[in-house]
Amino acid sequence: MQIRFLGELKKKVTNKAHVEASICQAYLQQEISTFSSFYFERDVITRRKRPARNDDIGEDLYENVVSIFNYLGRGKGAATQRYILGGELQIAHTYILMNCPEISPFYHEFRASLSAFPENEIDALVDSDFVNWYKYQ
Residue 47: the pLDDT is: 74
The answer to whether residue 64 scores a pLDDT higher than 80 is no
Tell me the domain boundaries of the chain.
Answer: 2-37, 80-135
Residue 118: the pLDDT is: 87
pLDDT confidence tier of residue 20, bands split at 50, 70 and 90: confident
Report the interhelical angle of 88-98 vs 119-135 (nearest 10°).
Answer: 90
The two most distant CA atoms of the chain are separated, in Å, by: 89
Mean per-residue pLDDT for 87-98? 89
100 exposure class (CB count in 10 Å sphere: 0-12, 13-18, 19+): middle
CA gyration radius, the chain: 29
Of 39 and 105, which is predicted with more confidence?
105
Mean per-residue pLDDT for 46-50? 74
The HSE-up count of residue 49 (CA atoms within 13 Å, CB side) is: 14
The answer to whether residue 60 scores a pLDDT higher than 80 is no
Residue 56: the pLDDT is: 60
Residue 62: the pLDDT is: 64
Of 100 and 72, which is predicted with more confidence?
100
The answer to whether residue 58 scores a pLDDT higher than 60 is no
Of 103 and 6, which is predicted with more confidence?
103
Query: Distance between CA 45 and CA 43 in Å, rounded?
Result: 6
Query: For residue 120, which amino acid is it?
Result: N
CB contact set of 37 (below 8 Å; sequence gap of 6+): 46, 47, 48, 49
